[in-house]
Structure 1
Amino acid sequence: MVTIHPTAIIEDGAQIHETAEVGPYCVIGPKVQLEAGVKLHSHVVIVGKTSVGEGTEIYPFSSIGQIPQDLKFSGEDSELVIGKNNRIREYVTINLGTKGGGMVTRIGDNCLIMASAHVAHDCQIGNNVILVNNATLAGHVEVGDFAIVGGLSAVHQFVRIGQHAMIGGMSGVENDVIPYGLVMGERARLSGLNLVGLKRRGFERKDISDLQATFRQIFADEGTMAERLEKEQSENRQGLARDVLDFIGSDSSRALCQPKD
């Protein structure tokens, strides 16, 4: 049977799996769905049209599924979808989506969202992402698989962060970050590639070498960015290098985070 502490408030309509646990003083709204093995520690608030995937654990004083901090929000029936096996630590806030952003805020699987992090409306977070303490994502941010956003960092709305990228702590990220990139700074600049992360995750040496060659070419001093990208496209790069080229070639409302001049 589902374990619900007697002090918890569960509103009519909430769907709670029989193996879920709801701790003391939690509040669960009428449109919330908790899947198998979900565990809520004390004082967790989950409201809105929010689904929490199997095995996810949420720690005290998190506020999940509240309406967006967006003046354009007009009460639309948007939602928040949280995947499987996530760890959401104390004081985390995650908001619903909006009509202007596809109606869904989404968290993937196996993410670690540390204390006091914020995920705003319409963010799309991949799998195995880490948001370190006090990392804050504005609306419509996209974060690729295995990316890490350092503590006390702030990411501007509509920014895309590619897979396996690393954002250094206390960085202000205003522009898109290439996959496998390493950025840092008060106004973040591209500092190289996340080589430590790539090696830890077992990427082949040749793939990393090809990626480094592409990186050096794209961000070289000679010629224009368009000319350098055209040359790299002609090399028919594959693997990690192709991920970077495809990312740069995709539509975006933000400029590209580049090395400091």
Structure 2
Amino acid sequence: MAAAAAEFRRFSYLLLIIFNLLLLPFNSSSAYHLSKHFYSKTCPNALSTIKTAVHNAVNSDPGTAAALLHLHFRDCFINIGGPSWSVSLGRRDSTTPSKDAGSTIIPGPASNLTHLISSFANKGFTARQMVALSGSHTIGKAHCAAFRNRIYNDSDIDASYAAWLRSKCPQSGGDLNYVPLDITTPILFDNAYFKNLQSQKGLLHSDQQLLSSGFTNSIVKEYISHPSKFANDFAEAMVKMSELSPLTGTNGEIRRDCRRMNY
């Protein structure tokens, strides 16, 4: 618990630095749309400063990279490596944030393939884009409560892998015990996540579902054979997600303190 709390504090501090840089006054003429140059006049060094802060944070704690990806998913719907992409800036924070709504809209770890496809389709994403975005599980960790049912009840899981996971996650207790989502290269952004699925070593039930039907099997196998294709598809899908239903202009707010709404 103490380690988890310390990790959360470090991540929260990083976000505070990043968001405070982005919450500077802006030109009203550019307030009604997203743009890669949104802060070029009001804070020309913002992106380079953020890049340095994130680089240092990830070098210190690789788990920060996964946390930032998770933040991106929830908000919109260098050892780590991986692709890079340009993100349009100018999204505003909601004045009616809802933790429950985010948990409801985002598919859970027990989701089957049908639910995964429909959930992403509801936001305008194809099944291919859903598979590509699922590849973000090549980094990061999941707690025991998210995969307990899989390791004690699913049949499509490697026996030795399941036994190792059971040693980390008893049938009762230890809900906050964490293990890597990608056991092969946990701090590298690569295509090992998909290779793990082929070996029935997907940590979450929702992970292994990607290789449970011919509908997405071919996509997984393509990403195994062509890692550059996965990288390109992932980057494109992340850009699409960053532009999903943004609050701009007079909708939402740019917070003075990222941890609470303006009053």
Question: When the two structures are superposed, what TM-score results if normalisation uses the length of structure 2?
Answer: 0.24
Question: When the two structures are superposed, what TM-score results if normalisation uses the length of structure 1?
Answer: 0.24
Q: Which has the higher helix share?
A: 2
Q: Which structure would you say has the larger RCO, counting Cα contacts within 8 Å and 6 or more residues apart?
A: 2
